[in-house]
């Protein structure tokens, strides 16, 4: 009840300020709202090159790891306690020709944009294993008022970009929006994986940052978040077991979900490196030899590189019951599913990665993401 009251008061204030700012004229301006930032960074760079006079504003949330160039565009800290930034953010939202968002944002429930404004959802995942939006099983604990707010936010999207027909179907169910709003541009940040020079530059920087990976293979562990672990950075991998077994062959890069605020206590320096704060997951994937994850969306993009991955689903039954995931999860994911550390170690030792499943998975989920996604986006929405 207190949470709902706080949200209602926040949205009331937001709506009042937005209504005042809305009296100003719409400008030739794009305001980005960034929680993850990968898609936004690609779109922003191309937009600046194509239309140098187009104004760009970025509203950056606390979770966003991308370092936007504050000398080239206006960057405001949207969730800070800075009242000036807060008011300026609302002004830009009310006066922009384009609003581009990459996550769910509650404020959209009360931003009745002018007809001249186009709101585009670019999301932060190329695919989805776990259910979200209207399909999230945890919605049973939500109030009717909260569910109405969710629907109001989703109805604010004029367009949603997609990289595959499968993701389009998921969006239709999760957002409850008609097909007419979906645009098959592909996912802008996946362009990186088709850019040989960009990949090589990223790898060079990371090899200098972590010299040890010149001599050892890299395992990237990137689990999704659990609601009860957002302030707890404890991980379920038995690091000691991995260290004792693979210390001469591998190093482990740890990438916690951006929503996790706790600090990881690293007891295995030289074997485990916490890269949760690194600005680009895509760059980290270029040096990754094996991905270990669970229900995260990272495999959809990593599959473009056609490299092995395995799925450590230690809480498979509980997570499926609480949040909801693919019913045929074990069959559909592009790698072996393990639920214990003994199984995980066995797969790593035997290198039984089911690599033959990766390329078909990539082809399906990245159907429209072929290296031209950012150009497709700019052509569709700006030209």
Q: CB neighbours (10 Å) of residue 296?
A: 21
Q: How far apart are CA 19 and CA 110, in angstroms?
A: 9
The DSSP result for 206-260, as a single string, is: HHHH-GGGGTSEEEEE-PPP-GGGTT----SS-HHHHHHHHTTTEEEEE---TT-
* Band (232; pLDDT cuts 50, 70, 90): low
Topology of the domain comprising 2-187+369-382: Rossmann fold (3.40.50)
pTM: 0.93
> Span 98-118, mean pLDDT?
97
Residues 57 and 96 sit within 8 Å (Cβ to Cβ): yes
pLDDT at 100: 98
User: CA torsion sign, 281 to 284 to 288 to 292?
Assistant: negative
Token code pair at residue 197: 């020079």
Q: Is there a shared CATH topology between the 2-187+369-382 domain and the 193-365 domain?
A: yes
Token code pair at residue 203: 């790898």
* Band (228; pLDDT cuts 50, 70, 90): low
> Span 139-168, mean pLDDT?
96
Q: Between the ranges 78-87, 258-267, 307-316, where is the mean pLDDT highest?
A: 307-316
Q: Any idea which residue has 């690609």 for tokens?
A: 42
Q: How far apart are CA 345 and CA 246, in angstroms?
A: 9
* Band (259; pLDDT cuts 50, 70, 90): low
Spell out the domain ranges in the chain. Answer: 2-187+369-382, 193-365
pLDDT at 290: 98
> Span 228-256, mean pLDDT?
84
- CATH ID of 193-365, from 3.40.50.12580, 3.10.20.30, 1.10.10.10, 3.40.50.700: 3.40.50.12580
In DSSP terms, 99 is beta-bridged to 31, 119
> Span 337-341, mean pLDDT?
97
Q: How far apart are CA 99 and CA 80, in angstroms?
A: 20
Q: Indicate if the pLDDT at residue 261 is higher than 90.
A: no
* Band (166; pLDDT cuts 50, 70, 90): very high
pLDDT at 2: 84
How do strand 55-60 and strand 74-77 relate by DSSP bridges? parallel
Q: Indicate if the pLDDT at residue 262 is higher than 70.
A: no
Mean predicted lDDT score pLDDT of the chain = 93
> Span 286-313, mean pLDDT?
97
Q: How far apart are CA 297 and CA 285, in angstroms?
A: 13
* Band (306; pLDDT cuts 50, 70, 90): very high
3-state secondary structure 316-371: HHHHHHHCCECCCHHHHCCCCEECCHHHHHHHHHHCCCCHHHHHHHHHHHCCCCCC
User: CA torsion sign, 381 to 125 to 62 to 66?
Assistant: negative
* DSSP-derived secondary structure letter, 130: B
pLDDT at 295: 95
Q: Indicate if the pLDDT at residue 264 is higher than 80.
A: no
């Amino acid at each position: 009840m207190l949470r709902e009251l706080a949200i209602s008061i926040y949205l009331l204030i937001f709506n009042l300020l937005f209504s005042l700012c809305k009296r100003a004229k719409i400008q030739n301006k794009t305001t980005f709202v960034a929680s993850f930032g990968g898609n936004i960074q690609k779109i922003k760079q191309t937009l600046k090159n194509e239309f140098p006079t187009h104004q760009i504003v970025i509203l950056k949330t606390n979770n966003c790891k991308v370092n936007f160039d504050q000398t080239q565009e206006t960057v405001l800290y949207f969730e800070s306690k800075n009242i000036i930034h807060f008011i300026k953010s609302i002004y830009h939202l009310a006066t922009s020709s384009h609003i581009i968002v990459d996550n769910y944002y509650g404020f959209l429930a009360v931003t009745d944009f002018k007809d001249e404004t186009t709101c585009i959802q670019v999301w932060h995942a190329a695919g989805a294993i776990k259910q979200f939006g209207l399909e999230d099983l945890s919605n049973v604990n939500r109030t009717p008022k909260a569910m109405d707010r969710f629907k109001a936010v989703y109805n604010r999207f004029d367009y949603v970009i997609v990289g595959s027909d499968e993701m389009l179907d998921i969006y239709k169910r999760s957002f409850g929006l008609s097909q007419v709003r979906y645009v098959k541009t592909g996912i802008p940040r996946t362009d990186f994986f088709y850019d040989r020079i960009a990949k090589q530059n990223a790898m060079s920087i990371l090899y200098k940052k972590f010299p040890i990976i010149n001599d050892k293979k890299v395992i990237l562990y990137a689990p999704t978040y659990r609601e009860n672990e957002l302030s707890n950075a404890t991980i379920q991998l038995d690091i000691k077991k991995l260290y004792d077994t693979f210390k001469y062959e591998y190093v482990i890069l740890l990438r916690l979900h951006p929503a996790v605020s706790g600090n990881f206590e690293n007891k295995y320096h030289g074997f485990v490196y916490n890269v949760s704060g690194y600005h680009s997951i895509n760059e980290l994937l270029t040096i990754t030899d094996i991905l270990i994850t669970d229900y995260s969306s990272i495999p959809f993009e990593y599959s473009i590189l056609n490299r092995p991955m395995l799925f450590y689903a230690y809480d498979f039954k509980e997570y499926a019951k609480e949040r909801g995931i693919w019913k045929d999860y074990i069959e559909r994911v592009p790698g072996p599913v393990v639920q214990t550390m003994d199984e995980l170690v066995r797969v790593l030792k035997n290198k039984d990665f089911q690599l033959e499943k990766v390329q078909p998975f990539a082809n399906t989920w990245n159907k429209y993401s072929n290296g031209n996604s950012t150009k497709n986006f700019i052509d569709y929405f700006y030209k």
